[in-house]
Amino acid sequence: MHVWRRGTNWRWLAVLAMAFGAAQASAEALTANFANSGGAVTANEYSGLVEVTVSGSGNSLFGDLNDAFYLYTGAFAGSPHNDSAGGFYQLEITKGPTLAENQPDDAVNHIVYDVNAGTAVTSPYLPAYRADHTYSFLIDTGSIAGPGSSALRFGVDDGQYGDNSGAYTIEVTAAPTPSAWGGGACVLALLAGARLRGRLRQSAAL
């Protein structure tokens, strides 16, 4: 149990609560099937920073399983591997019409904050392997080619989809509107709220 000490900055806690509440209210859930080059598309359009939590796995390289970032069975058992050279067999986030062979839009190229690690990062960025296959991070949608604000398409990057199986389960959370608090404060609150949600998810898993 955490006990708040004297001197706690209640104004900062209020900002955290606002970020947490606003983001939770705008979240949407998707299931992106590995056997479909169209993946899954958000109902809403997004711009700026967006929080993504992705779990699940499937096979897109013959019988080897991969999660959002790593191949981890078969030849890769005990030594999880990201196909950084080819760019396949991992999560893709695009504004385009298809996921097929679209390596520039692999998620690693858009991540700016690792919620699990609680740190800002520079893309391209590969999160550390997680045995629970659940990753949370913020992406900059401005780095995805296309309109400034658009629906996002999620799925696995591959060349052939007919022999795939499995799916990603994805939660997409919009950033609070910058005009609400001003650009810098909004970004700081969003990052703090994302980190708070990451800690809550970890606590719930214990």
- Give tens-digit pLDDT for 69-117: 999 999 999 999 999 999 999 999 999 999 999 999 999 999 999 999 9
- Report yes or no on 69 lying in a domain: yes
1 or 68, which is more confident: 68
Residue 109 domain-assigned?
yes
pLDDT, the chain, mean: 83
What sign does the dihedral 183-189-191-194 (CA atoms) show? negative
Task: Please list the residues that pair with 58 across neighbouring strands.
Answer: 66, 166
In a domain, 124, yes or no: yes
For 98, the domain range is 10-205
Indicate if the alpha-carbon torsion angle 162, 164, 167, 173 is positive or negative: negative
Arithmetic mean of pLDDT, 184-199 = 54
Question: Which residues partner with 50 through β-bridges?
Answer: 139, 174
Neighbouring residues of 170: CB distance < 8 A, sequence distance ≥ 6: 29, 30, 31, 32, 40, 52, 53, 54, 154
Q: What is the CA radius of gyration of the chain?
A: 17
Residue 2 within any structural domain of the chain: no
Count the domains in the chain. Answer: 1
pTM of the model: 0.77
Give domain status of residue 171, yes or no. yes
Q: Is residue 3 part of a domain?
A: no
Q: Please give the single-letter amino acid code of residue 126.
A: L
